């Protein structure tokens, strides 16, 4: 059974999962790096960037869970890049260099499709204008029986939660109050009714919350 999974998704105490004012220079907006500091410190993140070292505790255990068993990712166009509206050129190939960290097919949801991008290391970016259900069908086929990761951003996670297609959700509660930005929880209620929930705090200060669909 192929599952739909979300990993390492940080959210503030007041429910914001991205800051206000995202640009090429400030990809996290006014949140700066505060939502993802816990991740930057892990061995998993460092090895993604070819760097040694990093923590190997509970933050890293969760961080490393991101990859195994995943056969495709679906991401929103706002995660792929800072551009909005029609592409003015097709130079932009994502934030991740020539050999992106994904190493699987990646479906980028956009109202402005463009040709498929084959990158080094097995990552292929497909640009599709699709509903969550349609995107999931395409990603499941590409995943060849493996799981599908919903990679964000905030709007994409919220849409897939609302469509009730997520089986495993890993949130990282960062104890900061952002005040503004993109709300994860708008329009969502009683999420806990459909999931078994666990919480574990880390010495880094964050708390990992996992939502596992009941019966999975």
Cα–Cα dist 157/147, whole Å = 16
Closest by Cα among 118, 81, 78, 115 to 98:
118
178 binds its own copies (CB under 8 A): yes
157 binds its own copies (CB under 8 A): no
133 binds its own copies (CB under 8 A): no
Sign of CA dihedral 136, 153, 175, 192: negative
Place of tokens 């505790």: 57
Burial class (CB in 10 A: 0-12, 13-18, 19+), 191: middle
Number of residues binding to its own copies, judged by CB under 8 A = 27
Cα–Cα dist 17/2, whole Å = 26
Place of tokens 């999420």: 191
Q: How far is the CB of 50 from its own copies (least distance, A)?
A: 31
Closest by Cα among 153, 163, 168 to 188:
163
Q: Which stretch binds its own copies (CB under 8 A): 97-105, 128-136, 149-157, 189-197?
A: 189-197
Q: How far is the CB of 198 from its own copies (least distance, A)?
A: 7
Q: Which of 92, 185, 212, 213 binds its own copies (CB under 8 A)?
A: 185
190 binds its own copies (CB under 8 A): yes
Q: What is the footprint of its own copies within residues 14-53 (CB under 8 A)?
A: 14-15
177 binds its own copies (CB under 8 A): yes
191 binds its own copies (CB under 8 A): yes
How many whole angstroms from its chain centre is CA 52? Answer: 24
DSSP of 51-72: ----B-SHHHHHHHTTSTTEEE
In the complex with its own copies, the residue whose CB is nearer, 15 or 113, is 15
- Pair 5, 151: CB distance under 8 Å: no
13 binds its own copies (CB under 8 A): yes
In the complex with its own copies, the residue whose CB is nearer, 124 or 202, is 202
In the complex with its own copies, the residue whose CB is nearer, 99 or 201, is 201
In the complex with its own copies, the residue whose CB is nearer, 82 or 179, is 179
162 binds its own copies (CB under 8 A): no
- Pair 176, 41: CB distance under 8 Å: no
Which residues of the shown chain bind its own copies in the complex (CB under 8 A)?
Answer: 11, 13-15, 173, 175-180, 185, 188-192, 197-202, 205-207, 209
């Amino acid at each position: 059974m192929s599952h739909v999974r979300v990993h390492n998704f940080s959210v503030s105490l007041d429910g914001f999962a991205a800051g206000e004012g995202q640009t090429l220079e400030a990809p996290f907006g006014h949140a700066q790096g505060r939502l993802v500091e816990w991740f930057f410190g892990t061995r998993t993140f460092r090895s993604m960037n070819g760097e040694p070292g990093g923590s190997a505790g509970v933050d890293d255990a969760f961080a490393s869970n991101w990859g195994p068993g995943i056969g495709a990712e679906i991401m929103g166009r706002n995660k792929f890049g800072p551009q909005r509206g029609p592409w003015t050129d097709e130079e932009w190939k994502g934030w991740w260099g020539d050999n992106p960290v994904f190493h699987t097919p990646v479906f980028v949801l956009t109202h402005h499709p463009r040709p498929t991008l084959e990158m080094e290391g097995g990552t292929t970016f497909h640009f599709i204008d699709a509903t969550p259900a349609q995107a999931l069908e395409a990603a499941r086929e590409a995943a060849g029986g493996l799981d599908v990761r919903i990679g964000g951003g905030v709007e994409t996670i919220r849409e897939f939660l609302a469509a009730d297609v997520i089986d495993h959700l890993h949130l990282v509660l960062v104890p900061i109050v952002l005040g503004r930005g993109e709300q994860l929880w708008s329009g969502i209620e009683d999420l806990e009714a459909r999931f078994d929930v666990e919480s574990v705090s880390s010495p880094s200060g964050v708390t990992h919350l996992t939502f596992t669909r009941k019966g999975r």
